[in-house]
Amino acid sequence: MYSLSRLRLHSSLLSRRGRSLQDACVRPNRLGAAASSHAFVRLTATTSRARRLDFLSIDKKWQERWQSDSAGTAAAADDTKPKSYVLSMFPYPSGTLHMGHLRVYTISDMLARFYRMRGHDVIHPMGWDAFGLPAENAAIERGINPADWTQSNIAKMKEQLRTISVSFDWDRELSTCSPEFYEHTQRIFLMMYEKGLAYQAEAMVNFDPVDKTVLANEQVDANGCSWRSGAKVERLKLKQWFFRITAFKEKLLEDLGSLEGGWPERVLSMQRNWLGKSFGAKIKFPVLVDGQGDPNVEIDVFTTRPDTLHGVEYVALSLDHPIVLKAAEKDEALRKFLGEASSLPPDSKAGYKLSAVRVSNPLHTIDKENPHVSRQLPVFVAPYVMSDYGEGAVMGVPGHDARDLAFFKENVNPPSIPLVIQPELISDSVEATDNIVADDNAQAVTQEGILNARCGKYQGLQSQEAAKQIVADLKQVGRGDFVEKWRLRDWLISRQRYWGAPIPIIHCAECGPVPVPKDQLPVQLPKIQGSWLKGKKGNPLEASEEWLNTECPSCKGPAKRDTDTMDTFVDSSWYYLRFLDAHNREAPFSLSSARPVDIYIGGVEHAILHLLYARFIYKFLASSELFPETGRSDLPAEPFNRLLSQGMVHGRTYSDPSTGRFLLPSELDLSSPDKPLITGTQVTPNVTFEKMSKSKYNGVDPAASALKYGADAIRAHVLFAAPVSEVLEWDESKIVGVQRWFSRLWKLVVDSKEKLESASFAPSSLEISPPASVANLSNDDATALLSTHKTIQSVTHCIENNTYSLNTVVSDLIKLTNLLSSSPPASSTILYQSLSSLLRLVAPIAPALSSECWEILHYTDSKNGSSVDSCSVSSVLAAPWPSLPLTPEQADSIAARSGQVVAVQINGRLRFTVTVPQIPSTETDEKEYLLGHILDSDEGQMWLRERNDWDKRRRVIVVKGGKLVNIVF
């Protein structure tokens, strides 16, 4: 081992040869890896003032060391520790990380490192959502096998992940396209099939004409387009496989209550809305065909507003309603309309009037004297009526429903439209004016109110009371009843594509559908040459004769495999359980491993699809033999205890102000970043921050950013730039602020190391007991201890209880760094305690820099040239989370030196505390003095002026010698 003096000489010689000291520190040499590493530490410590901090060299050093240390050393579970399962939503292996990946993995890695330092046995795995249409489409385009394309992308993304210093447990890695994984997806399918929860049925489905496959309702947007290809979805009647998610609808809704406080309220609201439980009535409309009534033919309509029944002007039917299909047998124009309407968006106003079919208002049976309900009403066929909701029929009340009004104006265009609900009782004398003019400005009256004179015997009743009475009367005559309805429909899982988990069913002409025996699982995908895929359309499985044709497990006769594959959301609905027991060959997971995720991190765009399906499958599995008895208790079976939904990352976007066209980087002159110009002109482009996409030329590669600024810098920046739940506007020019903080921290460590060495200080323990007395501490020592104490409190509370404010964690750490740099404590003990605490607080955010600083702080050269570790913990990442250095009484005592801590309540609830200078002896009005300083504080401005109107305060109460102020508004 070289001595410090010899290393300095060595560096001088290297400099003469034109090589930088930085190169000498990071290049491997004949000293060996370990010696080179320690040489780098000591050289850096000695010369840091003379050179710039090299973030990339530090990243390289520590990433290589972590990779070497973890090779072949999977961490064993420790049952003596509390367990924390921290999981980020696994990515689709597209081959390139995007900034959303950086944000979610930075957050999950910070949390995983934090809980490890808190003494938890942490599970923090990573896998790949590897099946799906993008890989198959890319493979077809390139003429290669989807498996080869997927595996090459996984390799690239794993290498990129290493550049951002994430600490995943790669021993648990899984890929959903691996037979070892989808064998168990097929097992779960068969378990559901045995319980009647997986079934095949003919139904109207959404068909994507571009991706050539069916889609679940959730995968079609509000405009009737495919969620992935963007194509207009067609409605076809096909035989498909479904999961009976509706069997769990009550539990899916009810158990959302147990997630309050752990899940964002907006996600809970989205889940409730998608489940869509509503209470209403089923109303039976008598049907007349060619003017003749048929007592056996009725149209059932579900409505949540039976109080508007007197205002019905038409009935609309879905495209596949039995009456429509029967009418189409004789009506060529109707058949043409149905063919065109299947591709129209669900909000289309298009309609086709059935010439031979009309209905009568069911209220006519009750109130025969009322002329307003005695008319025969037209029946339309309309794309906006969904066949799988309600009864495939709606009653059109244009006066009191905006959608009905738009449809009625488009297809009937009447001069006026009747109203039957008014905000107050309307007299008989103005009955004739109970209309709205059907012009462009007409608006439906959608709120509840009082039934007017058109409603006969129900006139004067309030809407809710009238609804109950109307349905009760209709029930008496067999024309209606109270019912509940759900928006949720069974989950369509069939996909007519190759790259997915095959459905383990064999179809036999004699026996019908037969499950594949469990000992024959997995049903593996046949290997298809990429050259065969190129230019082909349809499902390749149907053309793979050797794979397709098989033997019936029941009768041993000839049979065929099911050629549908499962929706990729089936894989992601249970993958989090596989991570817990990733190498189990016999079952998806073991009884002993089954448990929910403690913290789940991912984008809010998955708030409906993925989370709903995962909750459903978890509830099913929790009721099966795969779960321990505790999993089948009365406690809500939920897969994710806490959900952290991060906002999107937007990139800087440039567009031409005259055309709005997005500009390529080559079209921009950014020589003055603050004043961008369109190349070759003096025109300033429009600059906005928008969702990153290739079409807007605003995407940023996080791996490239890490290699430019350092992984720790971009990790800290992504946490600091915005609260977790909000949109992050990625602005690389602001990363310099984080780098300046890191430079101050680096200098603080080096300077402190020199100071501690000169004082011959060697820590005996990381944790130092609170001082016996704080009365004799110098101001700098007391301030450093108190600031360290408060920072530990704040950072710990934020990460454990207020994760959406991780940006304040970085802010707190910057403040503590600045304080220790500007006013370092005189006591070596306090200096070491504050600095070692700061490095441990920084470690989850900036693991490489904190590790380097930890070595500088703790490693010294002995006289014989060897390196001595002055700390029992060799790595900051293995060190325990810092404990509080002061008791509450000591913290209050120090805080009182420069002032008095005042707790401020608003209407009796504690909102914030503020330190107020001691009241001068000449001051007579204690209340005014305290309020002046409270209002001057940032917290006072926010709580007393922004969130409340200070001028409208009713009373101010000062108690406990000014330690508590209660303000009543």
Average model confidence (pLDDT) for the chain?
Answer: 86
pLDDT tens-digit readout, 488-535: 999 999 998 899 999 999 999 999 999 999 999 999 999 887 677 766
Let me know the angle formed at the C-alpha of 320 by 319 and 325, rounded to the nearest 5 degrees.
100
pLDDT digits (tens, 9 = 90+) for 608-629: 889 999 999 999 999 999 988 7
Q: What percent of the chain has pLDDT over 90?
A: 60
Cβ-count burial of 469 within 10 angstroms (0-12 exposed, 13-18 middle, 19+ buried)?
middle
pLDDT-based confidence at residue 693 (cuts at 50, 70, 90): confident
Confidence grade of residue 551 (pLDDT, cut at 50, 70, 90): very high
| Structure confidence by residue, pLDDT tens digits, 782-836 | 999 999 999 999 999 999 988 888 999 999 999 999 999 999 999 999 999 999 9
51, 837 in Cβ contact below 8 A? no
The pLDDT tens digits for 214-241 are 887 767 776 778 866 788 888 788 899 9
Q: Quick one: 467 exposed, middle or buried, by C-beta within 10 A (0-12, 13-18, 19+)? A: buried
Percentage of residues in the chain having pLDDT higher than 70? 89
**Residue 70 reports pLDDT greater than 80:** no
Provide the CA 542 distance to its chain's centre, in angstroms: 37
**In the predicted model, is pLDDT for residue 571 greater than 90?**
yes
Cis-peptide into 522, omega within 30 deg = yes
- Read off the amino acid at residue 946: E
**What DSSP character marks residue 347?**
T
pLDDT digit string (tens) for 335-354? Answer: 999 988 877 777 789 999 99
The confidence score (pLDDT) of residue 41 equals: 42
pLDDT score recorded for residue 874: 77
Q: How far apart are CA 145 and CA 149, in angstroms?
A: 6
> Taking CA 260 as the corner, what is the angle to CA 258 and CA 265, rounded to the nearest 5 degrees?
140
How many residues are there in the chain?
969
Reported as a pLDDT band with limits 50, 70 and 90, residue 15 is very low
At residue 38, does pLDDT exceed 70?
no
* pLDDT band, very low/low/confident/very high, at 74 (cuts 50, 70, 90): low
| Exposure string for 764-780, b = 16+ CB within 10 A, e = fewer | eebebebbeebeebeeb
Q: 578 and 589 in contact (C-beta within 8 Å)?
A: yes
For residue 470, give the 3-state DSSP assignment.
helix
For the residues of 557-613, what is the DSSP string, one character each? Answer: SEEEE---EE-HHHHHTTHHHHGGGTT-SSSSS-TTT---EEEEEEEGGGTTHHHHH
Task: State how far the alpha carbon of 369 is from the alpha carbons of 84, 373, 842, in Å.
Answer: 71, 9, 81
Identify the pLDDT of residue 409: 92
What pLDDT does 274 receive? Answer: 92
Each residue's pLDDT tens digit, 360-406: 999 998 988 899 899 999 999 999 998 777 788 999 999 999 999 99
Q: What is residue 867's predicted lDDT score, i.e. its pLDDT?
A: 52
Contact between 631 and 594 (Cβ < 8 Å)? yes
Q: Which domains does the chain have, with CATH numbers?
A: 181-248+490-569 (3.40.50.620), 277-423+436-486 (3.90.740.10), 758-860+873-892 (1.10.730.10), 899-968 (3.10.20.590)
Determine which of 101-115, 415-429, 691-705, 777-791 has the lowest per-residue pLDDT on average: 415-429
Please tell me the least confidently modeled range out of 270-284, 285-299, 514-528, 766-780: 766-780
Q: How many Cβ atoms sit within 10 Å of the Cβ of residue 585?
A: 7
Asked if residue 757 has pLDDT above 50, the reply is yes
CA distance 425 to 401: 20
The torsion angles phi and psi of 941, rounded to 5 degrees, stand at -60, -45
Residue 921 reports pLDDT greater than 60: no
Taking only the tens place, the pLDDT of each residue in 104-163 is 999 999 999 999 999 999 999 999 999 988 888 888 888 888 999 999 999 999 999 999
Confidence of residue 425 (pLDDT cuts 50, 70, 90): very low
Q: State the pLDDT confidence band at 50, using cuts at 50, 70 and 90.
A: very low
Q: Whole-angstrom Cα distance, residue 927 to residue 794?
A: 29
